[in-house]
Structure formats: C-alpha cells, structure tokens
Amino acid sequence: MRRFKVGPLVKGAAFLVLILAATGCSLLSVSEIRNATRNDVVNLGDSIFALSGKIHDNLQSWAGQTFRRYALSGSMVSHIGDQYNKAKRDNANIQTIFMDGGGNDILIPATLFDPYNCKVDWWESGLSSSCKSLIDDIYVDTVNLLNRMGRDGVDNIIYLGYYRVKDGLIGTTKLNQAVDYGDARLSLAVRNATAASNYRVFVDPRAYISSSDIIIDGIHPSSSGSQKLASLIWAKLQPLL
C-alpha cells in the first residue's frame, strides 16, 4: 500500500492553521457560551475543547443542562487565566470548572522552531533539560492559576490532561515524551495547589485515546476521541451537578 505523502501546499496550510491557533483566532473555535442554565459550571481551555466543541456538547447532552464555555483555540496557560477573568466578570458565581491547559505552551514553540528541544529524535536518550525546565515553569503557572481560583471560592476543579499525539499535519510522536512529562507535572500541580478548591482531580486520558481517536492533524480529538474525553470528565462532573 502506498503511504500518503503530505505535499508542501498541505504543510503550508497546516502551518497557517497553527499560526492562527497560536494567536487565538476565533475562526478556529466554537462560540463562547456566556450565559447558561448552569452558570456556576464553566469550561476553560484550549482547542482540545474549542476546535469542535464536541466534548462540551456531549457533557451538556448527558446533563440535560448548559454550561458556560470560554475555551479558545491557541490558548496557553496565561490566556486561560484571561478566560477565567472574563468568566468572573460575566458571573462571579463559579462553583465548578472543567478545563485543560499547558499543551500549547509546549506545542506552539515546538512546531515552529523547537527552541526548547521538546521533540525527542531517535538518537536522543530522553527529554532535554531545556524542555523539562519549560514544563516546570508551566507547572508553576498552573499552580498559581488554580490557587487563584481557590481563593476566589471555586469549589471544584476537573483538570483534563493530554493524550499522546500521532504523526500528522501538525503533531509528531517526537513530542510524546514531553506529553508524558507534562502530564506528570500537571497532575502534581493539581495535587499541590493548596489554595485551590475542595475537590480537585486530574483526568489522565493517555490510556484511553488511540490514533483513531485523533484527526489528521495529529493533535485534536475526532468525534470518537471527544466522546471518550467527555466520558472521562463526566465521571467526575456528574456527581457535582
């Protein structure tokens, strides 16, 4: 069987998509939901939630209620802090947040120039110290954000981790050691955010998402992937509703 080869035009289009995502382009995001039947339940994050919106759609369908959504494609941890500020301005009564964050802090520089050497080539023994330092900084930023949420009175935080990516228009399996290290640090951030909410849980999707659950870009969930991710979140969210 002939292997599909990605031509320069397709690669260029993928690169443009990534640039647009990196700038938080709303054209690559589903619409915000700034008023819902459950305004106290808020979704924050990046394009895992925002590109198709199917995770959110599944959760709302199963709950029979609507939740606010501020997730935006291309968002880094600092941008997710901005999303949280916007949600508070709209309605400060936030009891439960389901979210992700940190993936673009690694993906965007790695895809553009890889200045932190987060891609691990076959001849390298493991993840570089510069990439680990970057992820350690993301850990600190995440703890600070979760602590701020806790001080504001948010009761419940469900933090979705990242699954391993596949080779595609944007993704590359060379980043999967960074995914593994990143999930370990994000999980620790959720545990160590002492000023954060009473209920904090990290949802690790790596054992559940396969290549068939990821679209052609190698990064984002397909319909089946979105349903699996929603199911993992739902197991933690349903008892809180």
* Per-residue pLDDT at 6: 36
> Average pLDDT, stretch 131-159?
96
- Residue 21, pLDDT > 70, answer no
The amino acid that residue 22 corresponds to is A
Q: What is the dihedral of CA 118, 216, 102, 84, to 10 degrees?
A: 160
Q: Is residue 157 within 8 Å of residue 199, measured between CB atoms?
A: yes
Q: Is 12 helix (H, G, I), strand (E, B) or coil?
A: helix
* Per-residue pLDDT at 5: 38
Q: Can you tell me the distance from the alpha carbon of 190 to that of 99, in angstroms, rounded to the nearest whole number?
A: 12
- Residue 20, pLDDT > 80, answer no
Phi, psi values for residue 143, rounded to 5°: -60, -45
- Residue 1, pLDDT > 50, answer no
* Per-residue pLDDT at 28: 78
Task: Give me the helices (H) in the chain, please.
Answer: 8-22, 47-50, 54-63, 77-90, 103-112, 129-151, 176-192, 223-237
* Per-residue pLDDT at 176: 97
Q: Which secondary-structure segment (H or E) carries 41?
A: strand 38-44
Q: What share of the chain is helix, strand, coil (3-state, %, to 5)?
A: 50, 10, 40
- Residue 3, pLDDT > 50, answer no
- Residue 11, pLDDT > 50, answer no
Give the domain ranges of the chain. 27-240
Other CB atoms closer than 10 Å to residue 93's CB: what's the count? 9
Q: What is the pLDDT of residues 168-210, one digit of tens each?
A: 988 899 999 999 999 999 999 999 998 766 799 999 999 999 9
Q: Can you tell me the distance from the alpha carbon of 193 to that of 144, in angstroms, rounded to the nearest whole number?
A: 7
For the CA atoms of the chain, what is the radius of gyration? Answer: 17
What is the distance, to the nearest Å, from the Cα of residue 226 to the centroid of all Cα atoms in its chain?
A: 12
Q: What is the pLDDT of residues 34-84, one digit of tens each?
A: 999 999 999 999 999 999 999 999 999 999 999 999 999 989 999 999 999
Candidates 3.40.50.1110, 3.40.50.11540, 3.10.580.10, 3.40.50.12280; CATH matching 27-240: 3.40.50.1110
